[in-house]
Amino acid sequence: MAYVMLMFLFSLVLGLAAVAANPSPYFAALGLVAVAGVGCGVLVGCGGSFLSLILFLIYLGGMLVVFAYSAALAAEPYPESWGSWPVLGVVVVYVFGVCVSACMFWGGWYEGSLISADEFSEFSVFRGDVGGVALVYSVGGGMLVLGAWVLLLTLFVVLELTRGLGRGALRAV
């Protein structure tokens, strides 16, 4: 399990470097969705499966808004991808900076710290995030619905703002 967590964390750092280095909003939005998936995998590895599911669904709703906004504003006929040399150079610089920072703060990190919270108790009946499920539906249910409504409203506002004089993304066929 520790190797899987190390793979998730390495993918998270590499994905964040790729998102930060990319000047094109198309690939940046796609990279953010991939980084959100890897981050939710890290949460699952730490014992928060329900929290990971809720976070992924809400984050995908937010990324839908960001992708619609960036696709409507970006008018590049040939956007730069992750394979272009300037973007790869910046990714290498970011990953080198992360490696230097990791070497500076290396003391105190051990492989045992990547063990899931559920693996500490031998005969546990409940998972680590079962109490959170009850709280989300009892106390936080209204906030969950409100968050979904705000994301939907933001999507329509972004589409209306980027429409301009033409019909934009909502063009009649």
Query: What tokens does 170 get?
Result: 């909502």
Full domain range(s) for residue 6 = 2-73+82-119+126-170
- What is the pLDDT, as a whole number, of residue 173? 44
Could you give the CA distance from residue 66 to residue 69 in angstroms, rounded to a whole number?
5
Could you give the CA distance from residue 43 to residue 129 in angstroms, rounded to a whole number?
11
Judge residue 102's burial from the number of C-beta atoms within 10 Å of its C-beta, 0-12 exposed, 13-18 middle, 19 or more buried: exposed
Number of folded domains that form the chain: 1
User: For every one of its 173 residues, what pLDDT tens digit does the chain have, with 9 covering 90 and above?
Assistant: 778 888 898 888 888 888 888 777 777 777 788 888 898 888 888 777 777 887 888 777 777 777 777 676 666 667 777 777 888 888 889 889 888 988 887 776 665 555 555 555 555 556 656 666 677 677 777 887 888 888 888 878 877 776 655 554 555 54
What do you get for the CA distance between the two ends of the chain, in Å? 51
